[in-house]
Amino acid sequence: MKTLLIEIGTEELPPTRLASLAESFKTSMQHLMQQAGFTFDGIKSYATPRRIAVELKNCSLKQPDQTVEKKGPAIQAAFNAAGEPTKAALGWATANKISVAEAQRKKTDKGEWLLHLSHVKGKTLFEEVPDMVSQALKKLPIPKPMRWGTETVSFIRPIHTLTMLYGSDLIEGCVLGVKSSRQILGHRFMGQAEIELMDADAYETTLETIGRVIPDFAKRQAMIKDGLEKHQVELEGVVDLDQSLLDEVTALVEYPEVMVANFDAAFLSVPSEALIYTMKKDQKYFPVYQANQQLMPKFLFVSNIISTDPVQVIQGNERVIRPRLADAQFFFEQDKQKTLFSRCERLAQITFQKKLGDMLQRTNRIATLSASIADLLKSNAEHAYRAGLLSKADLTTQMVLEFPEVQGIMGMHYARLDGEEEAVALAIAEQYLPKFAGDRVPQVSTSVAVALAEKLDTLVGIFGIHQAPKADKDPFALRRAAIGILRILIENQLNLDTKQLVALACDAYGTRIENTNTKTDVFEFILARFKTWYQEQGIPTDVIQSVLIQKPSLAFDLDKRIHAIDQFRHSESAAALASANKRVNNILAKASKSFYSATEVDPSLFEHDVEHQLLAALNQSDHAMQEMLQSHDYTRALSELATLRQPVDHFFADVMVLSENAQVQHNRLALLQRLKLKFSKVADISLLQF
């Protein structure tokens, strides 16, 4: 068995998509090969700006032969009373290119059938691989394929070479209009430009030594990290190994070389976030920090060439960054000439949403809502109102127009320069937190109030005009806003009612709200985000549903319940109590609601000791449970409820709930209703699956 190599040589692939394209190609080829019956020891992917490839070690040459059963009609349908073949039998036999007499018979539990066994010889890789490659490429996640030249086929970028080798043998074929050959492409500026690959096993070595290309994405990234860390030590600085930037830079180069460059220290007067944005987003450079996180006038960049004149390469990159930093400095100096507050009027010229008004109206709503939330937090409402009022003013600055990702952050810097309170300035920057999964949440009360208000205003407004997100479209990032609200409430353990917050946001909009169900729709949407969020954390769906079914509106309280239930479901008593709760629910569901609506239990109607024991256990747990529920200690509350397992088991073992005596039956139903209500104070554990 030999190595199978498949390489697709292209023009430069989109760097942010390279890794996912390579992984998708690998996964598809692995699945198709396994599905076709070929065996191999392992599969490895390669990815550079101008290629994606897979390598399968010890790959079988041929599929296994197969015996295929083709079932025909049942015997009673295959022959008439005279024993002659029917049209059904003749048609089936003709389709399988046999006579009815050649068919076999097979008995099953459902009767006897005609059967044809055919021997199918396995095909070779040389026959199957081209089609599998074509299928795998069609499955790649390509949002906008392109055409090139006179070709009618399309792909993410024009394809120049196709190489399919089994050991030293070329697999001939044509994929997306390109014929296979031994030609692979070396580095554009180093090594041999076009290489004839003689053996699949020599692929990586040949590219590295002759083509001066490192085809292994992970190996290339490791080289970059090593270079960054080496220079970090030399500079006595700190380099942020931003993984997304590392991935993008790795996808931009074929033979990396990390180099150090400088910029004018005078640019450090500009807020560092703007400089960092320019270096990372625009130029793909790595900023260098001092130990105290202050920016140094240096940066690291990754060259795609081992230059014989590195000074020239460094100076070239310094020339490129200089005008970008100069622009940032100019914008900053211009912006400082106006206060944030004086800029608010210009927000009236920026539309938030056609039906929801302009950004000035939005900031007025955010300010009002921020102050209301600050009151609930017993925080400084004036600071919250001021921060809300100034929250979007930096959208009118040249700096934010040029560098949109620093909105909020620049507002903070300008607010500080204007002499605003530090809490106000910080809240302007933190209003957008958390921006992504794993991002921090605001913790200072003023920042919390403004961040919640900003997200609630968006949610309520968009739902209020009937534009809830669709399955694949969420242009206003409402899902992220909802998750942000939940995380802020939970991680700060804030005793704020989500329904109340939504109602306050609705009030701020007044008559602009068209959807009369906005409050309910937004609350239900937020609850749905809970489910998704916990599922991503690995919490079982039945645990989540047992709490969400009660639609609790205190987010941090809901979080405590879910984690307590998740822990409880592994306890010794959980399965038995869940089963008992299911039984209680079923009994109560069958009974007339009016018959058991009361929870007052009359001990004088008890006929069994176990009824007294269950009531005594319920009474005994009442006081302890009350304190635990008030302190949101649901782990202890569930432990207390677990003590009811024995009296509940004994009750169901000895008592017939639906007694012929109406009073006795009513009393027992009331006892069960009380038991149900006690458990429901934590969750509906009858929904737990075991």
For 563-687, CATH gives 1.10.730
Reported as a single tens digit per residue, the pLDDT across 610-666 is 999 999 999 988 878 888 998 999 999 998 888 888 998 899 889 888 888 888 888
| Residue 199: per-residue pLDDT | 97
Reported as a single tens digit per residue, the pLDDT across 92-113 is 888 888 888 888 888 888 888 8
Banded model confidence at residue 595, pLDDT cuts 50, 70, 90: low
Residue 439: count of CB within 10 angstroms of its CB: 11
Mean pLDDT of 33-39: 93
| Residue 124: per-residue pLDDT | 92
Nearest to 175 by CA among 407, 8, 344: 8
Task: Please state the pTM of the whole predicted model.
Answer: 0.80
Banded model confidence at residue 444, pLDDT cuts 50, 70, 90: very high
Check pLDDT > 70 for residue 150. no
Is the distance from CB of 11 to CB of 71 less than 8 angstroms? no
Is the distance from CB of 183 to CB of 161 less than 8 angstroms? yes
**Residue 35, class by beta-carbon neighbours within 10 Å (0-12 exposed, 13-18 middle, 19+ buried)?**
exposed
| Residue 287: per-residue pLDDT | 97
Class of domain 341-538: mainly alpha
Check pLDDT > 90 for residue 205. yes
Long-range Cβ pairs for the range 524-529 (8 Å, 24+): 525/459, 525/463, 525/468, 525/478, 525/482, 526/459, 526/482, 526/485, 526/486, 526/498, 526/502, 527/551, 529/479, 529/482, 529/483, 529/486
Is the distance from CB of 149 to CB of 111 less than 8 angstroms? no
Whole-angstrom CA distances from 572 to 543, 635, 646, 667 are 16, 14, 12, 30
**For the chain, how many residues are written?**
690
- Cα separation, 498 vs 483, in Å, equals 12
Instruction: Give residues with Cβ within 8 angstroms of 321, minimum separation 6.
Output: 261, 263, 278, 279, 283, 285, 299
pLDDT > 70: percent of the chain: 99
More confident residue, 259 or 85: 259
- Cα separation, 210 vs 201, in Å, equals 15
| Residue 596: per-residue pLDDT | 52
Class of domain 2-62+124-209: alpha beta
Q: What's phi and psi for 7, nearest 5 deg?
A: -125, 135
| Residue 110: per-residue pLDDT | 81
Banded model confidence at residue 599, pLDDT cuts 50, 70, 90: low
Reported as a single tens digit per residue, the pLDDT across 322-374 is 999 999 999 999 999 999 999 999 999 999 999 999 999 999 999 999 999 99
Reported as a single tens digit per residue, the pLDDT across 177-199 is 999 999 999 999 998 999 999 99
- Cα separation, 673 vs 620, in Å, equals 17
Half-sphere exposure of 583 (CA within 13 A, CB side): 16
- In degrees to the nearest 10, what's the CA dihedral of 30, 203, 9, 214? 100
Banded model confidence at residue 594, pLDDT cuts 50, 70, 90: low
**DSSP H helical segments within 304-444, as ranges?**
310-335, 340-343, 359-376, 381-390, 398-402, 409-417, 422-430
Reported as a single tens digit per residue, the pLDDT across 533-581 is 999 999 999 999 999 998 989 999 999 999 999 999 888 888 888 888 8
DSSP for 586-599, written as a single string: HHHHHS-HHHH---
| One fold for 341-538 and 563-687 | no
pLDDT > 90: percent of the chain: 71
Banded model confidence at residue 590, pLDDT cuts 50, 70, 90: confident
- Report the range of poorest mean pLDDT among 224-233, 236-245, 469-478: 469-478
Banded model confidence at residue 592, pLDDT cuts 50, 70, 90: low
| Residue 149: per-residue pLDDT | 74
Q: Two tokens at 233?
A: 């030590």
- Cα separation, 530 vs 523, in Å, equals 11
Question: For the chain, what are the domain ranges?
Answer: 2-62+124-209, 66-120, 217-335, 341-538, 563-687
Banded model confidence at residue 235, pLDDT cuts 50, 70, 90: very high
Residue 690: count of CB within 10 angstroms of its CB: 9
Nearest to 675 by CA among 633, 636, 644: 644
Is the distance from CB of 468 to CB of 482 less than 8 angstroms? no
| Residue 113: per-residue pLDDT | 85
| Residue 598: per-residue pLDDT | 62
